[in-house]
A and B are shown apart, each in its own frame.
Chain A
Amino acid sequence: MIQLENIIFLIVAGLGIGLFVWQIRKIRKNVLMGRDVDLTDNPSERINKTLLVAFGQQKMFKRMLPAVLHLFVYVGFLVINIEVIEILIDGVFGTHRVLAFLGPLYSGLMFINEVLAALVIVACVIFLWRRNVTKLPRLASGVEMRAWPKLDANFILITEIVLMFALFTFNIAGLKLVQLEGGEVAGSYPISQMFVNIFGDNPASLHIIERAGWWFHIIGILAFMNYLPSSKHFHIIMAFPNVYYSKLWPKGKFTTNPAITHEIKAMLDPSYQPPAPEMDAEGNPIIQRFGAKDVEDLTWKQLMDSYTCTECGRCTSVCPANLTGKLLSPRKIVMDTRDRMEEKGEHPAIFAPNHYKELGVERVETTDEKTLLRGYITPEELWACTTCNACVESCPVNIDQLSTIMDLRRYLVLEESAAPASVNAMFTNIENNGAPWAFSPSDRFNWAEDLYVPSKN
């Protein structure tokens, strides 16, 4: 029977979902600021990768403890969402536990649900502990871990714990109510059964508690969903497309700029006809910068990377430059890209927490330039990279930090000629001697002199 409660629910759910869609559209617009790149090849390989890395959490398992704890939260999220579907149906149509007709399957589902909800609480408590008490370096330190990222992480963990408690509250109260009425319990609730008497046995108050828990849970979920776009927790959605569109070719293969190829070919062969430049909507040729100075010079995939980052710091914790005290932190590169994107685009979120700067001395000497390069990321950081791909390898959601570092470096070199002097000397050596060192090309074959091998007989 549909009552006022259901109508209120419908309005609340509609507002929650509508607001979320509105936010997603803004984020989509931000990501599409990036340059176009075709990443639709090999769909079957991409699907496989998505199943393994995103659904299967493959790369998480490089570190066992967080992998197992994260798995609890991840599977909990997936399974509990089935109950959320039920909540939505119940909420709209005034039914109660509408999926109960599934019988033993429903019992099993509710059983697993409760166990997982308990494990989610355990995992989140340990996660909070690691962040705030043992202060795991990759989670607790780094110039990019300013006030907001730290608050965001704690807020997510606490919210998840609170949501799980709300779930238990309405399960316990509902269970007790059914037992008092002597009815048959739909589903199996091992955890709630243990605490079935904590809310007393007054049916009226139990009913209120059950409803309050139910409403808190669903409103909490809707609110949390709308919090996602402002948070690192957005990875629960973005991880899937980001892995799907990730690099299929060897990590050592860096992109080749065809515009430069045409220029060189025209230089070497005057009869070479480069293709006509692409035109924009007004019919003017699109002049592409060499390398990246700002977010629109990066590809949409590189921008999507930064919406996928969950700031776990695995990349930074394996970066040889960062490990030896250099300024470079691959995580910062990704977070800066997001900050800059949201500064330049419209704020995609309800609020813009990423601009939550913190007081304090930072070694990163940015300028006031309103660009990703120098305004956020300094040449010192970029020049510390050894291009070793450890960051890319470590990322559980296939972010390509290195490609962004390289594109920014290319801008420094190709548009500003701003390489360190010794690197410029290396360029000159290659140009003049065909080797990065100052040796004469005529000596290149000298290594072969006076070389002997034992005779076979």
Chain B
Amino acid sequence: MEENKRLVKVPTMAEMAANGEEPEVLFWVGCAGSFDDRYKRVTRAFVQILEHVGVKYAVLGTEESCTGEPAKRAGNEFLFQMQAITNIEVLNAYNIKKIVTACPHCFNTLKNEYPDLGGNYEVIHHSTFLQQLINEGKVKVQGGEAFKGQRITFHDSCYLGRANDIYEAPRDVLAALDADLVEMKRSRANGLCCGAGGAQMFKEPEPGNKDINIERTEEALATLGTGNGVIATACPFCMVMMSDGVKNKEQEESVKVFDIAELIAQAEGLSK
């Protein structure tokens, strides 16, 4: 049987506004989700889920710009505020109420740091959003790839976990896969950073005896044990760092790094 599929036309805010419409939720794609080849797949998987459940969403498209997060963590408060104030003008002009994003760094900044500069929105991370879709029965996690019995370990993102106390949402999402979830020793509030936060993503590490992502990958691999397994992430920077770590350990054949949205899209039969 030939698979029926349709081409997705991702709606932009500019089009919606021109038609006098307002979306339920704005999907803030983020720079990694827009430009990084690996993370674009996460963006696409998340859009497939949005399309699948029929949420009225929109993106800013080329009107989106960096939240300023990396600049702020690097100490460049001036550049951060320039970005933030400009973005807030755009968001407020479109009368945005609710934002969902797959990037914990964008999430944290939009949610916690934009209000002081006049940007007040309900901001949720895609892990919470997916958790809600699953709880409401809109995503049934069936019809696609089966994850039953698959060993999956979730790597906590600092900006989702410690920064915002979101530990259960991504785990609830993974639990819906009926997989064999295993926890690393350092997890939840005690999770170990992937090494990319605080603008480390954009610089070489300071002198030391090991790279942080290697330390973390070793822990993940030890937790998964031998055989096939998945390291699940919910952050573009963690995705890069853990993928690099797995490559460094020459385990990319047996251990895959996936974002939770990709896993759900696969389980739902939305993407391959």
Contact = CB atoms under 8 A, between A and B. Distances in A.
A422 B193 contact: no
A328 B206 contact: yes
Contacts of B111: 250
Nearest to B206: A384
Contact of A250 (B8, B64, B164, B208): B164
Nearest to A381: B206
B176 interface: no
A321 B192 contact: no
Nearest to B49: A453
Contact of B34 (A393, A427, A445): A445
Interface string B19-54: 000000000010101111000100110011001100
Contact of B116 (A256, A291, A320, A387): A256
Interface string A61-74: 01000000000000
B228 interface: no
B179 to A, nearest CB: 22
A254 to B, nearest CB: 6
Contacts of B162: 251-252, 388-390, 392-393
B255 to A, nearest CB: 21
Given A320-B193, A423-B74, A430-B71, A451 B10 contact: yes
Contacts of B17: none
Contacts of A455: 4-6
Contacts of A291: 75, 77
A444 B208 contact: no
A386 B198 contact: yes
Interface in B72-111: 72-79, 81-83, 85, 108, 111
Interface stretch (B132-140, B147-155, B209-217, B244-252): B209-217
A291 B77 CA distance: 9
B207 A327 contact: yes
A318 B111 CA distance: 27
B72 A453 contact: no
Contacts of B33: 447
Contact of B5 (A318, A406, A454): A454
A25 interface: no
Given A290-B77, A445-B34, A448-B10, A430 B163 contact: no
A451 to B, nearest CB: 4
B18 interface: no
A250 B35 contact: no
Interface stretch (A237-245, A339-347, A431-439): A431-439
A326 B198 CA distance: 15
Nearest to B72: A254
Interface string A253-264: 110110011011
B254 interface: no
Contact of A422 (B72, B108, B202, B206): B202
B189 interface: yes
Contacts of B10: 445, 448, 451
B62 interface: yes
B66 A436 contact: yes
A441 B35 CA distance: 9
Given A260-B78, A435-B34, A326 B85 contact: no
B35 A439 contact: yes
A423 B34 contact: no
A251 B163 contact: yes
Nearest to A268: B85
B168 to A, nearest CB: 16
A331 interface: no
Contacts of A105: none
Nearest to A318: B190
Nearest to B78: A260
Contacts of A410: 75-77
Contact of A326 (B82, B208, B270): B208
A447 B71 contact: no
A297 to B, nearest CB: 13
B248 to A, nearest CB: 14
A334 to B, nearest CB: 18
A282 interface: no
Contacts of B206: 321, 326-328, 380, 383-384
Given A261-B117, A419-B76, A453-B48, A436 B31 contact: yes
Contacts of A423: 74, 199, 202-203
A92 interface: no
B270 A453 contact: yes
B163 A389 contact: yes
A265 B85 contact: yes
A386 B31 contact: no
Interface centre among A257, A441, A452 (most CB of B within 10 A): A452
A385 interface: yes
A15 interface: no
Given A447-B44, A454-B4, A388 B198 contact: yes
B57 interface: no
A447 B211 CA distance: 31
A249 B196 CA distance: 23
A368 interface: no
B120 interface: no
B12 to A, nearest CB: 8
A427 B71 contact: yes
Contacts of A326: 205-208
A14 interface: no
A193 B73 CA distance: 62
Given A265-B85, A328-B206, A445 B75 contact: no
B26 to A, nearest CB: 14
Interface in A367-420: 380, 383-390, 392-393, 406, 409-414, 419-420
Interface centre among B7, B48, B73, B77 (most CB of A within 10 A): B77
B70 A454 contact: no
Given A264-B85, A447-B33, A250 B112 contact: yes
A39 interface: no
B189 to A, nearest CB: 5
A426 interface: yes
Interface of B: 3-8, 10, 12, 29, 31, 33-36, 40, 43-44, 47-48, 51-52, 59, 61-62, 64-66, 68, 70-79, 81-83, 85, 108, 111-113, 116-117, 158-159, 162-165, 189-190, 192-193, 195-212, 215-216, 269-270
Given A250-B112, A318-B190, A324-B208, 9 more contacts: A256-B116, A264-B85, A320-B216, A324-B215, A325-B210, A326-B208, A388-B193, A409-B75, A434-B66
9 contacts: A253-B108, A254-B72, A320-B193, A325-B210, A386-B193, A392-B162, A410-B77, A430-B71, A445-B59
